[in-house]
């Protein structure tokens, strides 16, 4: 069900809650997917709506797989709350604050980086994000073949160095083997900001944890939380299956944010 079909039901209940928080992914949600990650830009409309919502809601946060300093710079709204590397780091007191338990895995990440570099294919980009590593392969000659070749290589490297391997949309990620992800950071935000309601927006495999957490929080009566999956070409099936509601691409997210500005103001 698309969010437009729930404005008189699920979403009415959402905006009626006294402390509502909005937590959103960046790439593919408020920023279109691009072939070169460094070219990603938040749409002006999304940025403007987030800025307004920051004055209306108990929390407006951006949670990304990007390094937290990177996503904060790209969103360009210093008063929002930011978490990067899927929750492994936060931005606080004008600096990057990593999760303490993640710091010990930095040597393993450095060793993995050295092991992967000689095997990179033309068009691949290896990104060291401090708390994690990402290998982007969207620009390889044959992305599907690149994924087939690299999957067993990365599985061996992560096993050797005690890390975990994840796959997203044309990207591999190596992370510490910790129970920290977008779902746990969503729960953390609910507790930290005493939210009575929350809405999470995301489009990729790493957002599924948060979409599921939203459902869990609601079903356990801890917080009236809803997950909005962003539908686009190549969106993982798990996003569509786990989301409570759907938005039609980045334009659908922009429309939802506009609706939320007006609905929260009216409530």
Q: Which domain holds residue 106?
A: 101-175
CATH number at residue 113: 3.30.70.1020
Give bridge partners of residue 72 from the DSSP assignment: none
CA 47 from chain centre, in angstroms, equals 16
Bridge partners of 173?
Answer: 134, 166
Cβ atoms within 10 Å of 129's Cβ, excluding its own: 22
In a shared domain, residues 95 and 109: no
Question: How far apart are the C-alpha atoms of 177 and 153, rounded to whole Å?
Answer: 18
- Count the alpha carbons within 13 Å of 254 in the hemisphere toward its beta carbon: 13
Respond yes or no: is residue 25 known to be catalytic.
yes
- Tell me which of 5, 25, 128, 244 is the catalytic residue: 25
Same domain membership, residue 109 and residue 170: yes
Domain CATH number, residue 57 = 3.40.50.1000
Q: Positive or negative, the Cα torsion across 145, 159, 208, 35?
A: negative
The domain boundary residue, chosen from 175, 190, 219: 175
Q: Which of 148, 175, 202 is the last residue of a domain?
A: 175
Q: Are residues 42 and 18 part of one domain?
A: yes
Joined together, the tokens standing for residue 61 give 């946060």
- Please check whether residues 148 and 211 belong to one and the same domain: no
Domain count along the chain: 2
* 105 and 72 fall within a common domain: no
DSSP state of 136: E
% pLDDT > 90, the chain: 94
Pairing state between β 81-84 and 89-92: antiparallel
Q: How confident is the model at residue 36 (pLDDT cuts 50, 70, 90)?
A: confident
pLDDT value of position 34 = 85
Q: Which two tokens stand for residue 203?
A: 């489009």
Residue 131 has what pLDDT?
Answer: 93
Tell whether 8 and 72 lie within a shared domain. yes
Four-point Cα dihedral 146, 152, 155, 160, nearest 10: -120
Q: Using the 3D structure, point to which of 158, 175, 192 is the last residue of a domain.
A: 175
- Tens of pLDDT along 42-74? 999 999 999 999 999 999 999 999 999 999 999
């Amino acid at each position: 069900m698309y969010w437009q079909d729930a404005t008189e039901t699920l979403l009415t209940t959402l905006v009626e809650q006294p402390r509502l928080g909005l937590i959103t992914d960046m790439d593919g949600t408020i920023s279109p997917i691009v072939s070169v990650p460094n070219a990603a830009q938040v749409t002006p409309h999304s940025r403007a709506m987030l800025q307004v919502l920051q004055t209306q809601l108990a929390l407006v946060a951006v949670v990304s797989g990007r390094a937290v300093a990177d996503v904060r710079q790209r969103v360009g709204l210093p008063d929002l709350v930011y978490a990067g590397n899927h929750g492994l780091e936060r931005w606080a007191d004008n600096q990057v604050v990593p999760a303490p338990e993640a710091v010990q895995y930095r040597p393993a990440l450095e060793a993995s980086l050295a092991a992967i570099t000689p095997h990179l294919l033309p068009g691949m980009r290896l990104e060291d994000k401090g708390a994690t590593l990402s290998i982007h392969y969207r620009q390889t000659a044959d992305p599907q073949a690149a994924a087939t070749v690299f999957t067993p290589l990365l599985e061996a490297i992560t096993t050797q160095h005690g890390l975990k391997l994840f796959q997203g949309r044309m990207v591999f990620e190596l992370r510490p083997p910790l129970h920290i992800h977008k779902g746990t950071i969503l729960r953390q935000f609910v507790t930290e900001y005493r939210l009575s309601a929350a809405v999470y927006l995301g489009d990729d495999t790493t957002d599924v944890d948060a979409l599921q957490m939203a459902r869990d929080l609601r079903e356990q009566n801890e917080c009236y939380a809803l997950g909005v999956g962003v539908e686009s070409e190549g969106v993982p099936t798990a996003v569509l299956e786990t989301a409570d509601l759907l938005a039609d691409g980045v334009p659908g997210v922009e429309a939802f944010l506009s609706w939320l500005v007006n609905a929260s103001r009216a409530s």
